[in-house]
């Protein structure tokens, strides 16, 4: 790795603020990424959660700082999506973030977004707790901006009736989006359990924020609304259809594969037809979450599946 000059705290803040001030429009979403004459219907990125078991296994000696290298060298993927759990205490660590950013630059790897968990419920019924949750995300907006990301992914957790949760979540999301907008950052919500896994509810919640930098990250597999003995599931194809008008990223969830390399839970041809029908041509993030295969093998199978789908789409013209 190239030696780097570590900026002072004052330099770090000044560079970040200057970049934010220079941003007069939000980063392009996947709807604007397909250039004329570009045959690729979409691009492939790698979500860090695909390696969560490896990262948590101390014997593997792999950390978040190694993620850009592993993505590029092991899988040939040059765009990545971080998970804040793997550098939880580093959001304000300028030396760490500078090191991570330099590693990406040295490898030619693009940082796309940070998936944020564990910072409180943005739709918490308690006003003080909701405000605290909003403010807890500020540091991740600033870290994402410094790394060159276009978004942070958040959760829309809440409690109460259907309508109450929509109102509460929209309030928290709107306030966080207002903070993120001057930084040129999007706040995007994944279907991630509870009412957020109801496509109609989440789409309406995003719309009600009135913020154009608040959107969705449709995940192909996270459509379980409730658990227990009789879990409630939302139709995944309907859900993605409902979420795509607000999508600023897409998560290609996989668990298991058949002998032909197809995902057994999701018809990828059908699902990607839905994604592309909305004019989305940006990054589709691999998120292997299965437990039967080695994570590296799961990632490779997901990439191969996406490449086959892309080839079919390109062939059809």
| Domain coordinates in residue numbering, the chain | 38-316
- SS3 at position 177: helix
Kindly tell me if the per-residue pLDDT of 161 is higher than 60. yes
- Note whether 67 and 60 are within 8 A (CB): no
251 band by pLDDT with thresholds 50, 70 and 90:
very high
pLDDT at 222 over 50: yes
Residue 317 is predicted with a pLDDT of 78
Res. 297: pLDDT tops 70: yes
pLDDT at 11: 44
Confidence band for 33, pLDDT divided at 50, 70 and 90 = low
DSSP state of 125: S
Measured at the alpha carbon of residue 31, what is the angle toward residues 28 and 32, in degrees to the nearest 5?
50
- Quote the pTM value: 0.90
Contact 266, 44 (CB under 8 A): no
CA pair distance 77, 110, nearest whole angstrom: 10
Given a cut of 80, whether residue 19 has pLDDT beyond it is: no
Instruction: Give pLDDT tens digits for 45-97.
Output: 999 999 999 999 999 999 999 999 999 999 999 999 999 999 999 999 999 99
pLDDT of residue 34: 53
Work out the end-to-end distance of the chain between its first and last CA atoms, rounded to an integer number of angstroms.
42
Level-2 CATH architecture, domain 38-316: Alpha-Beta Barrel (3.20)
**Can you read off the two tokens belonging to residue 186?**
């999007």
Using the CB atoms, write b or e for 255-264: b if 16+ within 10 Å: bebeeeebbe
């Amino acid at each position: 790795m190239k030696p780097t000059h570590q900026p002072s705290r004052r330099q770090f803040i000044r560079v970040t603020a200057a970049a934010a001030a220079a941003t007069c429009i939000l980063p392009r979403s996947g709807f604007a990424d397909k250039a004329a004459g570009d045959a690729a219907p979409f691009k492939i990125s790698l979500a860090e959660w695909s390696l969560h078991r490896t990262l948590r296994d101390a014997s593997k000696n792999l950390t978040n700082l190694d993620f850009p290298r592993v993505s590029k060298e092991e899988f040939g993927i040059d765009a990545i999506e971080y998970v804040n759990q793997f550098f939880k205490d580093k959001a304000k660590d300028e030396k760490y973030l500078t090191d991570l950013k330099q590693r990406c630059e040295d490898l030619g790897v693009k940082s796309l977004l940070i998936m944020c968990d564990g910072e409180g419920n943005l739709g918490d019924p308690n006003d003080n707790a909701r405000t605290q949750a909003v403010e807890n995300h500020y540091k991740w907006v600033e870290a994402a901006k410094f790394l060159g990301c276009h978004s942070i992914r958040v959760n829309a957790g809440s409690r109460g009736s259907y309508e109450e949760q929509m109102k509460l979540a929209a309030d928290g999301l709107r306030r966080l989006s207002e903070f993120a907008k001057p930084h040129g950052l999007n706040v995007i919500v994944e279907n991630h359990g509870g009412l957020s896994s109801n496509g109609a509810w989440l789409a309406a919640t995003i719309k009600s924020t009135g913020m154009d930098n608040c959107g969705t990250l449709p995940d192909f597999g996270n459509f379980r609304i409730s658990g227990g003995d009789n879990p409630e599931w939302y139709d995944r194809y309907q859900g993605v259809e409902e979420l795509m008008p607000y999508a600023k990223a897409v998560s290609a969830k996989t668990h298991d594969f058949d002998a032909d390399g197809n995902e057994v839970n999701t018809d990828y041809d059908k699902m990607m037809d839905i994604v592309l029908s909305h004019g989305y041509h940006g990054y589709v993030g691999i998120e292997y979450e299965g437990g039967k295969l080695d994570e590296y093998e799961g990632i490779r199978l997901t990439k191969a599946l996406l490449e086959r789908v892309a080839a079919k789409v390109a062939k059809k013209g």
